[in-house]
Amino acid sequence: MKEEKFQVINFIRKLIIVIDKELSNFPKKDLELKNRIRINSYDLLELCYEANVTENLENKKRLLEKIIAKIKILDFLLNLCYDKMIINNKKYVKIGNRIDDIIKYTSGWMKSIK
């Protein structure tokens, strides 16, 4: 697969891979939580591609705000997994670092269009 030139998309792709790997042994009673995490991560990728191709700066800014909101929801869901002891500290930190990178680069992207 060709490496994406756009850094935020690379971070989101890597996040999706880590999520799929680290959340493979989810308890049945919490499958809805796992599905929400996966759906939100794919939605995040979709929003990022949309923001990347949008020419209108107001629409781009709105999409970037949605990306940040979506990543914060994802962070909340992962924190819930940690609180329920579905994932351990090591997995939580590993995924959290990926989330921090996405927020940092998305915030920088937002600042660059203002």
What is the percentage of the chain residues whose pLDDT exceeds 90?
Answer: 75
Per-domain boundaries in the chain: 7-113
Residue 12: per-residue pLDDT:
94
Specify whether the CB–CB gap between 45 and 9 falls below 8 A: yes
56 pLDDT higher than 60 = yes
Superfamily of domain 7-113: 23S rRNA-intervening sequence (1.20.1440.60)
What six digits make up the tokens of 46? Answer: 């979709």
Banded pLDDT at 6 (limits 50, 70, 90) = confident
Question: Does residue 86 contact residue 30 with C-beta atoms inside 8 Å?
Answer: yes
Q: Is the pLDDT of residue 1 over 60?
A: no
To which residue do tokens 């997995």 refer? 91
Q: In sequence order, which residues have a C-beta less than 8 Å from that of residue 7 and are 6 or more positions away?
A: 105
Query: Does residue 13 register a pLDDT over 60?
Result: yes
Question: Taking a C-beta distance cutoff of 8 angstroms, is the pair 37, 85 a contact?
Answer: no
Query: Taking the alpha carbons of 54, 59, 65, 69 in that order, is the dihedral positive or negative?
Result: negative
Q: State in Å, rounded, how far the first CA of the chain is from the last one.
A: 33
